[in-house]
Amino acid sequence: MKLIFLGPPGAGKGTQAVKIAARFGIAHISTGDMLRAEIREGTELGNAAKSLIDRGELVPDDVILGMVKNRIQREDCKNGFLFDGFPRTIAQAEALEAISAIDHVINLDVPVERLISRISGRRMCPDCGAAYHVSTRESGACDCGATLYQRDDDKEETVRNRLVVYERSTKPLIDYYAGKGLLHTISGDADIDTVDARIREVISK
């Protein structure tokens, strides 16, 4: 099974992707997580990507495509994979089409005014990648024990630019995949388990 999760920042792609990938035994491929790992390791790619990410801009298509092509060769992708945050441009989608067929594209739809509060309250675990919201995690600690942090690009000013970039570069993918008959739009404005059930229903059909 090969899936794409589409949607604006804060739609819940990462949260849902973890659940669906585990349930179907497929690899969860988050290009954002891959880039953050490169930054943490201080690689040349990570250093070049950091300033773009911190400004809420996209990393160039050729860099992303190079990472993705390598990633899908790995053993854990043999049953399939779920792209979270990729593709983000029409050029990326066209390049993906040349290397792999996709079964379903899930578009998580959440009203814009909800996105800002979701992202600016988001706190991440540096160890296991889990995401929480400040309103429900006053302790500031992850279930795994690590201290949560706020992503630099989750600050409100950057979030606003990420939404502009989404509208300009990524939203056109909705029509692109609708035209190919692959798109399923699901409301992501509900609790985590409800959205998970909606996604499972669509991809199990």
Note the residues at the interface with ligand AMP (CB under 6 A).
9, 31-32, 35, 52-53, 56-59, 64, 85-88, 92, 153, 162
Of the candidates 151, 109, 112, the residue with the CA atom closest to the CA atom of residue 134: 151
Q: Which is nearer to ligand AMP, 120 or 197 (CB)?
A: 120
Q: Which is nearer to ligand AMP, 58 or 148 (CB)?
A: 58
Please name every residue paired with 80 in a beta bridge, in sequence order, or none if there are none: none
Of the candidates 158, 115, 156, 150, the residue with the CA atom closest to the CA atom of residue 132: 150
13 in catalytic set: yes
CB of 147: closest distance to ligand AMP in angstroms?
A: 20
36 in catalytic set: no
First to last CA, the chain: 12
Whose tokens are 């945050």? That residue is 85
Of the candidates 204, 196, 186, the residue with the CA atom closest to the CA atom of residue 107: 186
88 in catalytic set: yes
Q: Which is nearer to ligand AMP, 9 or 80 (CB)?
A: 9
CB of 70: closest distance to ligand AMP in angstroms?
A: 14
122 in catalytic set: yes
Q: Which residues are catalytic?
A: 13, 88, 122, 151, 162
